[in-house]
Chain A
Amino acid sequence: MRRMSGFNLVSLTFGLAFLYLPMVILVFYSFNASKLVTVWAGFSTKWYGELFRNEAFLDAALVTLKVAVISSTLATVLGTMAAFVLIRLGRFLGRTVFSGMIYAPLVMPDVITGLSLLLLFIGLGVDRGVFTIVLAHTTFCMCYVSVVVSSRLSSFDTSLEEAALDLGCTPWQAFRLVTLPIIAPAVISGWLLAFTLSLDDLVISSFAAGPSSTTLPMKIFSAVRLGVSPEINALSTIMIGIVAFGVVIFSIMSKRATVRQQQEERDAFHG
């Protein structure tokens, strides 16, 4: 099986082509001069110009970024706490309910999460806007963060913390100086995951947003409902570019960090 047969090569090639071709086409046609998206009329960057002059899009992008930064940061703090509670604190009253509430939002359809939050906000008489979108995003994102962090915590050697405590650290110092640096990669990937989930969310935002606040996915959705538009192609190209760049940089950095860590461990062992 470990031999790369012709069939394997073909299925890999076709599979990756299937995953990437639609996006490549999208990027390609964002440089099309024609308004008709499927007819090639020469190279042009005019849709990018149009996009940057479109204030509605820029405003929406700003709102989306603001929401994503705040809610992914909040979600990282809450999610890391929740992971600690699940992995470290053992039994307490209501633990089953707690772990249920962590895992349930992961499989809950967006329409139900959105609907239930909207009904809550209306019931409480809260004005809907950026604030309610942040609350909604923090809630579902913290569950993802807690799953990512708890998988790292469960493989964590607690004797390191015990050593720190024996050597006179307060619990908070032990956390800050020993635990946090070790789980940091998981916390960072949790934050990144929360950030992209928040940037990407359409359904929950649509329910939680008031009439005055629009996020970028909501804007894109209402624009593309009417059909393909070259401006959206340009916007998509920018977003795909940012993600691709970010993921490549992050994976190179985390690879270097792993290599360095292994090196240090080896040195410590032989030194």
Chain B
Amino acid sequence: MRRLILIALPYLWLLALFLVPFLIVIKISLSDVALARPPYMPQLDLSAGLAGIKAFFSELDFENFFFLTTDELYWRAYLSSLKIALVSTLFTLAIGFPIAYGMASAPREWRPTLMMLVILPFWTSFLIRVYSWMGILSNTGLLNNFLMWTGIINEPLQIMNTEIAVYIGIVYTYLPFMILPVYSTLEKLDDSLLEAAEDLGCTRTSAFWRVTVPLSKPGIIAGCFLVFIPALGEFVIPSLLGGSQTLMIGKVLWEEFFNNRDWPVASAVAVVLLAILIIPIILFQRNEQKQREAEQ
């Protein structure tokens, strides 16, 4: 009995507030937009019994998904989200790896402090961290003022409201997600392996590429997925830093829902986004599982 309650309570909660809502999204993505409340068709009419259910299913179709393929806006938004997420993941790796490496090579007694310094920004509001770049990157912002004061440039650089600002925002906010998994694999690395490589005639550089990098691969992969997956559906960063010309699918979904009030298309956008995300998510899970098995 107790066991049943223990299972049922969280189970039913998630069923009602995670799985069912998601099924509703799928259902509405197959519906048509209508000038009604709620603004979509068809409505399930249970009072008509089996015939009502039948009529309901016969009116569902994939029209919205066809619409997504015909309108250039959507597939450009998907492609541009993929590109932005991929490029910023690579930048995060390029910046995060040296930091993680530096942490792992720091004296042992520094490491907990360094760890905390990397985690601390994660506890600070995401929105504030993105916002902090607005004052730096804008045309009259600190970066432009500084560069013009030093005489490097005469005209302010347009960084704010471009994709570059979005890259900076993503790298900045997701950097801890890259540093921590990479650091945890580097920290476990056995020094004697590097000594052995050097004894066998490797230079330090080639020992780094042939020993350190391959052994830290699980951390690198985990870090890349932890950045790539949330970056793909990002909304706050492109809407604060990217301006109107940066297309990202999270922003398109938001606008489709709140500004255009086209719920069926917004739902279809969500379903396709999730279909794209499933591949990296499964790969990520597999990587985690392999790591767990390797540890045991």
Contact = CB atoms under 8 A, between A and B. Distances in A.
B98 A15 contact: yes
B24 A112 contact: no
Interface string B1-25: 0110011011101110111111011
A37 B135 contact: yes
B52 interface: no
A165 interface: no
B109 interface: no
Interface string A223-247: 0110110001100100110011011
B128 A240 contact: yes
B263 interface: yes
A67 B113 CA distance: 32
A120 B273 CA distance: 19
Nearest to A81: B10
Nearest to B189: A1
Contacts of B22: 112, 116
B117 to A, nearest CB: 6
Contacts of A108: 274
Contact count band on B = 35 or more
A239 to B, nearest CB: 6
Contacts of B69: none
B135 A38 contact: yes
A36 B135 CA distance: 10
B82 interface: no
Interface in A66-87: 78-79, 81-82, 84-85
A9 B99 CA distance: 9
Contact of B105 (A1, A25, A107, A112): A1
A70 B229 CA distance: 29
A2 B191 contact: yes
A202 B14 contact: no
Contacts of A78: 9-10, 13
B244 to A, nearest CB: 12
Nearest to A115: B270
A120 B28 CA distance: 11
Contacts of B194: 1
A236 B117 CA distance: 19
B266 A199 contact: no
| A-side interface mostly | helix
B46 interface: no
B233 A112 contact: yes
Nearest to B204: A1
B150 interface: no
Given A89-B7, A109-B232, A239-B124, A25 B135 contact: yes
A217 B175 CA distance: 22
Interface in A166-217: 171, 196, 199-200, 202-203, 217
A122 B38 contact: yes
Contacts of B106: 4, 8, 12
A120 B24 contact: yes
Contacts of B24: 116, 119-120, 123
B281 interface: yes
A139 B191 contact: no
Contacts of A109: 230, 232-235, 250, 273-274, 277
B135 A123 contact: no
Contact of A119 (B119, B125, B267): B267
A61 B253 CA distance: 27
Interface stretch (A16-24, A44-52, A156-164, A261-269): A16-24
B131 A224 contact: yes
B99 A111 contact: no
A98 B14 contact: yes
A138 B101 CA distance: 37
A15 B95 contact: yes
Contact of A81 (B6, B131, B229): B6
Residue of B9, B11, B267 contacting most chain A CB atoms (<10 Å): B11
Contacts of B158: none
B184 interface: no
A217 B127 contact: yes
B240 A4 contact: no
A107 B19 CA distance: 14
Nearest to A196: B123
A11 B102 contact: yes
A33 B10 CA distance: 51
5 contacts: A92-B7, A112-B22, A116-B22, A142-B14, A227-B138
Interface of A: 1-5, 7-9, 11-12, 15-16, 18-20, 22-23, 25-26, 29, 36-38, 78-79, 81-82, 84-85, 89, 92, 94, 97-98, 101-105, 107-112, 115-117, 119-120, 122-123, 135-136, 138-139, 142, 146, 171, 196, 199-200, 202-203, 217, 220-221, 224-225, 227-228, 232-233, 236, 239-240, 243-244, 246-247, 251
Q: What 9 pairs between A and B have smallest CB-CB spacing?
A: A109-B233, A15-B99, A116-B21, A12-B102, A11-B98, A22-B132, A82-B10, A120-B21, A8-B102
